Amino acid sequence: MNYEERRGKIRISKASGTAGSHSKGFRVALPPAWVRQMGLTDQNREIVLHFDGECITIRRAGSKKYEDFLIDARAKKHNVLILYFYNERTLCTKICADQTARSIAIENLLNDPLSTAFGVNEDPDWGDFERFLESRCVPRQRDGLGRYLEQLGLEQYDPLEIVRKTEGRMAEDHFWIKVVEG
C-alpha cells in the first residue's frame, strides 16, 4: 500500500439551507490521483467517513454483497484472499476469494465491462475465478514453460502463485493484480 501525506486547509463557509444563521460548512479538497486510485468515479462516489476522536478516515463504500461475503468468510475463519484488479493506477474490481468454500464475491468500481475483471459477469463462480487467474498468466502450452516457472521459483503451473509473482501483468495491456492475504 502506498503511503503519501499532504498538507491542506479546510475550506470554511457559511452553511446554507435550513442551517442556523451562525452555522458553518467545512470542505476538504482531495488530490484527484488519490480519488482515482480509490476507484471513485462520477457514477460511483459514495464514501464512508470514520472519526475516532482524532483522525478522520475516508474510504470508498463497498457493495453490501461484497462486504457481507467478506465478513462471513472471516467469521468462519476461512482462508480468504483479497485481490485488487487495476488498470494502471485505477482500481477496477475488488475480488474476495474464499479458498475454503471455493466461492468468490466481487465489487466492480467501474461501469465499463472492458475494464473489470469479469466483464459483464456480475456473479462469477469459482471456475470463473480460476479462468480469470489463468488469463493473467502465460499459457500452459507455452514453449519453454518449465524454464519460465523455474525463473519464478515455482515447481508447477499454479495460476495463483504465478499471479503472486508477476502481479498478473501481461505485455499487451496495463492491467495488474495486487494479492492480499485476507
Tell me if 38 is assigned to some domain. yes
Tell me if 144 is assigned to some domain. yes
Spatial CB neighbours of 76, under 8 Å, sequence gap ≥ 6: 100, 101
Same-domain check for residues 35 and 70:
no
Same-domain check for residues 83 and 104:
yes
Binning pLDDT at 50, 70 and 90, where does residue 135 land?
very high
Domain end marker among 24, 42, 60: 60
- Per the structure, the count of domains in the chain is 2
Same-domain check for residues 128 and 164:
yes
Same-domain check for residues 21 and 108:
no
Tell me if 3 is assigned to some domain. no
Give pLDDT, residue 62: 64
Tell me if 91 is assigned to some domain. yes
pLDDT tens-digit profile of 40-92?
888 778 887 878 888 888 877 766 788 889 999 999 999 999 999 999 999 99
Give pLDDT, residue 160: 96
User: Per the structure block, which three cell numbers stand in for 154?
Assistant: 515455482
pLDDT tens-digit profile of 24-34?
888 999 998 88
Tell me if 29 is assigned to some domain. yes
Binning pLDDT at 50, 70 and 90, where does residue 2 land?
low
Same-domain check for residues 114 and 73:
yes
Tell me if 122 is assigned to some domain. yes
pLDDT tens-digit profile of 168-177?
999 999 999 9
Same-domain check for residues 52 and 88:
no
In angstroms, the CA 168 to CA 114 distance is 17
Tell me if 20 is assigned to some domain. yes
Tell me the DSSP string of 128-140. Answer: HHHHHHHHTS--T
The pLDDT of residue 18 is above 80: no
Same-domain check for residues 84 and 144:
yes
Question: β-strands 80-87, 103-108: how paired?
Answer: unpaired
Instruction: Give the range of the structural domain holding residue 41, as residue numbers without chain letter.
Output: 11-60
The pLDDT of residue 125 is above 60: yes
DSSP single-letter state for residue 155: S
Same-domain check for residues 40 and 70:
no
Same-domain check for residues 48 and 77:
no
Rounded to two decimals, the pTM is 0.68
Same-domain check for residues 27 and 46:
yes
Site of grid cell 482524532: 54
